[in-house]
Amino acid sequence: MANTTTASPSFTSYISSLFQRKVLRTDRSRWNYQYERGSWDGLEKLDELPRFSIIAGLIQFLKPDAPAILEIGCGEGILAQRIGRNAYSSFIGTDVADAAIQRANERFGDDKTVFEAVDMNDYTTSQQFDVIIFNESLYYLRPMAEKLAGQYIPMLKPGGIMIISLNTGPHADGETKWNLIDTLFDTLDKTLVETTKNGWIVKTLTPKVSQS
Ligand SMILES: C[S@@+](CC[C@H](N)C(=O)[O-])C[C@H]1O[C@@H](n2cnc3c(N)ncnc32)[C@H](O)[C@@H]1O
């Protein structure tokens, strides 16, 4: 007798979801899938607020004169909104996920706030910035130290600052990353942000080799 067993709808959707999340490994499709299904909606919740608030406060304090800002891995543009459009002259946010970039442009895009879909490993520009931010996104720059040094430090204006946040959990391998980062930058400020659900170190950095 033929085997007529069929997979249940919930099993099928579980496999499909597993495939999309774990097997679909191109960065762009995986991140798009996650944003489209709302996996990152939690970034706008209360327990993530302090991380954004610290970064916004650092920029407002250290660069009060309408800085040009570049954010790498900006997701749906929450940080631009938290900083506030009156606090910068220009804000470019980039992310590999077109779905997140589209939402960012719809909600926060204006004449001085622009979001672009681009892989951080390929991003180039002739512009220079007062502030460059990797807020929970440096994990995806590979090889990290080489690309920070060769690709991103040259995008800083003289006197410019880089702000990097890394999760304090073991999966982030923060110690190894901070050790590498510390070979390239001096630390102007280090802040530990802890909420009921999560923790991050946020460092404000200046390149050891100054830009011209
Ligand atoms: C953990 S989320 C952080 C989003 C946002 N910065 C925040 O703090 O809420 C990581 C972000 O990095 C983006 N990302 C991952 N790989 C990337 C890549 N290769 N180039 C650009 N962005 C990337 C993801 O799409 C995602 O928006």
Cβ-based neighbours of 102, under 8 Å, separated by 6 or more: none
Domain 43-207: top CATH class: alpha beta
Distance 86 CA to ligand 1 centre (A): 25
Indicate the angle between helix axes 98-108 and 27-36, nearest 10 degrees: 50
96 and 27 Cβ atoms separated by less than 8 Å:
yes
Residues whose CB falls within 8 Å of the CB of residue 68, separated by 6 or more in sequence, listed in order: 88, 89, 90, 127, 128, 129, 130, 131, 157
Alpha helices in 84-170 (DSSP H): 98-108, 144-147
d(CA 83, CA 153): 22
pLDDT digits (tens, 9 = 90+) for 105-132: 999 999 999 999 999 999 999 999 999 9
Which pTM value belongs to this model?
Answer: 0.90
Any atom of ligand 1 within 6 Å of the Cβ of 73: yes
Mean pLDDT of the chain: 92
Rounded distance, CA 162 to CA 122, Å? Answer: 19
3-state SS class at 29: helix
Q: Where are the domains of the chain?
A: 10-39, 43-207
Whether residue 95 is predicted with pLDDT greater than 50 in this model: the reply is: yes
Residue 75 Cβ inside 6 Å of ligand 1? The answer reads yes
**Span 14-43, pLDDT tens digits:** 766 666 556 555 789 999 999 999 999 999
What CA–CA distance (Å, rounded) separates 63 from 60?
6
Q: Is the CB of 155 under 6 A from ligand 1?
A: no
Q: For position 11, what pLDDT does the model report?
A: 75
Secondary structure tally for the chain: helices H, strands E: 7, 7
How confident is the model over 166-189, as a mean pLDDT?
97
pLDDT(185) > 60: yes
Q: Which helix (H) or strand (E) holds 10?
A: helix 9-18
Residue 126 Cα to ligand 1 middle (Å) = 22
Alpha-carbon distances of 100 from 21, 32, 61, 111, rounded to whole Å: 16, 7, 28, 19
The Cα–Cα gap between 144 and 106 comes to 31
